[in-house]
């Protein structure tokens, strides 16, 4: 019998849960070295529970994911199990995105939040508490042992989206235009010159970044990546974990980088209700 998209979605989630359980069982049996800096997650069973954590907690903001960095030595069996999990995650994400797109033409809402029909489908099958962002994120796998890994908090991230004055006006008009502060912003838009562009800024949450270093012959190879889960490091018999630092358990409160001298965006919001700024000529 031909499966419906909803049935395919639930089957994909069931496959993912089985593979997560297989991976967790393999992880708990590992005798290879590991490093977990969090006192609440300090052994392999607790770490396995972290990888399995794809569920909401009561009161949790859906935009927030629970993260933890660390290093876990891995053999071929564990690496294979991790890749099987990642494949299942990608399959579920693809189907979930397709299911949402087939139900709603509003692309912005589908990308930025859980779509209600998908949530209803999951709830009907007993998965109402699934956290899609935590479900989608891949297990980081490092296939060859670096000589050094440096962890650091990246706190300067932000997204910048260009808007025309017309687009900004449309968004303001969807708000309560009887409010004085909204009307003042609409009036400010009317004073712009033709061709002026605006920038909508969104600060991003701090992320842990890993800077990896390999020595290959007489060359140094580097790679940087954000990490929200402990990284699996493929180790050969007798190998130890790479040299690594121990960063602060929580990000610093202030930006770690100075503002660029050529920054062309006015730091003072032009349309505060939209987090929109003007470009500086």
pLDDT at residue 223, rounded to an integer: 94
What digits encode the pLDDT tens for the residues 214-256? 998 889 999 999 999 999 999 999 999 999 999 877 777 655 4
The pTM assigned to this predicted structure is 0.70
96-103 long-range contacts, Cβ below 8 Å, gap at least 24? Answer: 96/9, 96/132, 98/5, 99/5, 99/6, 99/9, 102/5
Is the pLDDT at 112 greater than 50? The verdict is: no
Mean pLDDT of the chain: 82
pLDDT at residue 203, rounded to an integer: 67
pLDDT at residue 256, rounded to an integer: 46
Is the pLDDT at 20 greater than 80? The verdict is: yes
pLDDT at residue 132, rounded to an integer: 81
Is the pLDDT at 260 greater than 50? The verdict is: no
Lowest mean pLDDT among 48-52, 74-78, 155-159: 155-159
What's the mean pLDDT in 32-52? 90
Taking the C-alpha atoms of residue 220 and residue 99, their distance in angstroms, rounded to an integer, is 44
pLDDT at residue 120, rounded to an integer: 61
Q: Are 95 and 8 in contact (CB under 8 A)?
A: yes
Residue 259, token pair as written in the block: 């503002």
What digits encode the pLDDT tens for the residues 2-12? 455 667 888 88
The domain ranges of the chain are: 5-143, 158-203+257-278
pLDDT at residue 213, rounded to an integer: 96
pLDDT at residue 35, rounded to an integer: 95
Of 157, 239, 243, the closest CA to residue 206 belongs to 157
């Amino acid at each position: 019998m031909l499966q419906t998209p909803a049935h395919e979605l639930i089957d994909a989630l069931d496959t993912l849960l089985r593979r997560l359980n297989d991976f967790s069982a393999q992880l708990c049996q590992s005798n290879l070295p590991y490093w977990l800096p969090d006192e609440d997650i300090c052994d392999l069973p607790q770490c396995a529970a972290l990888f399995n954590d794809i569920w909401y907690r009561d009161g949790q903001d859906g935009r927030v994911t629970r993260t933890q960095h660390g290093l876990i030595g891995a053999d071929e069996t564990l690496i294979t199990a991790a890749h099987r999990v990642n494949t299942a995650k990608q399959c579920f994400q693809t189907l979930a995105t397709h299911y949402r797109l087939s139900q709603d033409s509003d692309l912005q809402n589908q990308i930025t939040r859980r779509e209600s029909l998908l949530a209803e489908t999951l709830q009907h099958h007993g998965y109402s508490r699934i956290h899609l962002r935590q479900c989608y994120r891949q297990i980081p796998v490092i296939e060859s042992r670096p000589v050094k890994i440096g962890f650091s908090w990246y706190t300067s991230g932000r997204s910048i989206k260009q808007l025309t004055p017309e687009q900004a006006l449309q968004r303001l008009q969807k708000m309560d235009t009887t409010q004085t502060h909204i009307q003042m912003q609409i009036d400010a838009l009317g004073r712009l010159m033709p061709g002026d562009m605006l920038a909508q800024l969104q600060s991003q949450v701090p992320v842990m970044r890993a800077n990896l270093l390999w020595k290959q012959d007489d060359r140094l190879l580097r790679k940087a990546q954000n990490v929200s889960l402990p990284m699996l490091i493929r180790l050969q018999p007798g190998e130890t974990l790479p040299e690594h630092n121990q960063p602060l358990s929580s990000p610093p409160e202030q930006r770690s980088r100075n503002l660029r001298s050529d920054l062309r965006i006015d730091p003072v919001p032009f349309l505060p209700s939209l987090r929109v700024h003007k470009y500086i000529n």
